[in-house]
Amino acid sequence: MNWWLIKRIGNINYPNGQLNVLPAKLQCLYKRIKHYQRSLARKRNTNGEKATQSNNYVQTKAKLQRDYRKIANYQHDLIQKFTTQLVNDFDQIVIEDLAVKQMQMTHVASKGLHRSLFGYFRRALTYKCEWYGKDLVLADRFYPSTQRCSHCGHVKTGEDKITLMGNQKHHTKHNEYICYACGARLDRDENAVRNLLQLI
């Protein structure tokens, strides 16, 4: 049985749905993290280099790190369970090397977390595939899974390209893939997934 996976902002998409690595449960932790970060930045702005020596600063920083750890632990646990389920259910798994897509995520404040999370996911999946003798295919980072039409193979270029915001020239939404060569209308993620599956 074939498989594919895409890591998108906050989610890992797969044929049966999405694994949300940022559930509501973690949203309030993220809010708190933002609050601590602002507070620390303010202290540094006001007191300069001396700021980091104050008790208050050290305490806030410790709280911030504690919340980061809580989130990471929770997400690592999710990923461990998820990767175990994947190697149990499937013999072939395709994942996309998202270095390029990660760069498109720079507007996301917590990008660092997501980056390390994808790395963690890939490492866990790699050694589990080895343990259980499953095939893991890493799609080339330059494979145009987003721009390619999974029906006819046409690859969008220039102004026709779709971005995270859709396409301005054709007024399409971020989740639409419309092929101007064969007329296919597809869900953007589904189309990308079908393209990845064609690599096997």
Task: Give residues in contact with Zn ion (CB under 5 A).
Answer: 149, 151-152, 154, 179, 181-182, 184
C-beta of 29 vs 184, nearer to Zn ion = 184
Q: How far is the CB of 185 from Zn ion (least distance, A)?
A: 10
C-beta of 109 vs 181, nearer to Zn ion = 181
Q: How far is the CB of 146 from Zn ion (least distance, A)?
A: 14
C-beta of 50 vs 169, nearer to Zn ion = 169
The tokens 């369970």 sit on which residue?
81
CA–CA gap between residue 72 and residue 50 (Å, rounded): 30
Q: How far is the CB of 198 from Zn ion (least distance, A)?
A: 13
List the alpha helices (DSSP H) in the chain.
24-47, 55-89, 99-103, 111-132, 188-197
Element (H, E) at 187: strand 185-187
Distances (CA, A) of 124 to 31, 55, 77, 150: 28, 39, 11, 29
3 state SS of 88: helix
C-beta of 115 vs 154, nearer to Zn ion = 154
Q: How far is the CB of 155 from Zn ion (least distance, A)?
A: 10
Amino acid (1-letter code) at residue 14? Y
